[in-house]
Amino acid sequence: MKVTTRRSFFQYMAILGLATFGNTPLYAKGTKVQYRYQDSPKDGNQCSLCMHFIPETNECRMVEGSISPDGWCAAFYKKPEKK
């Protein structure tokens, strides 16, 4: 009969946790419906002003698919202004 110590148990759990974390994606995009995406701006806010928007590919870090620079969604977060 093998007796495990408390220390070996916690070492095993730490390794298991790291292995699980290493295989889990750190982000997952949501659908346009989930984020209430629309192709037009809302209240002067639009995707081209959002920190999640990637202008080179017209993509969003939060929403799946092609995104219009003039669009808007509920994940909108204005880019911080550079000083």
What is the span of the domain harbouring residue 43? 27-83
Give the chain's domain count.
Answer: 1
Domain membership of residue 39 (yes or no) is yes
Domain membership of residue 71 (yes or no) is yes
Tens-digit pLDDT profile for residues 71-80: 999 999 999 8
Report residue 67 as tokens: 């995104």
Domain membership of residue 46 (yes or no) is yes
Report residue 56 as tokens: 């080179």
Tens-digit pLDDT profile for residues 44-82: 999 999 999 999 999 999 999 999 999 999 999 999 887
State the average pLDDT over residues 6-27.
70
User: Residue 38 is part of a domain; what is its CATH number?
Assistant: 4.10.490.10
What is the rounded CA–CA span in Å between residue 29 and residue 54? Answer: 14
Domain membership of residue 5 (yes or no) is no
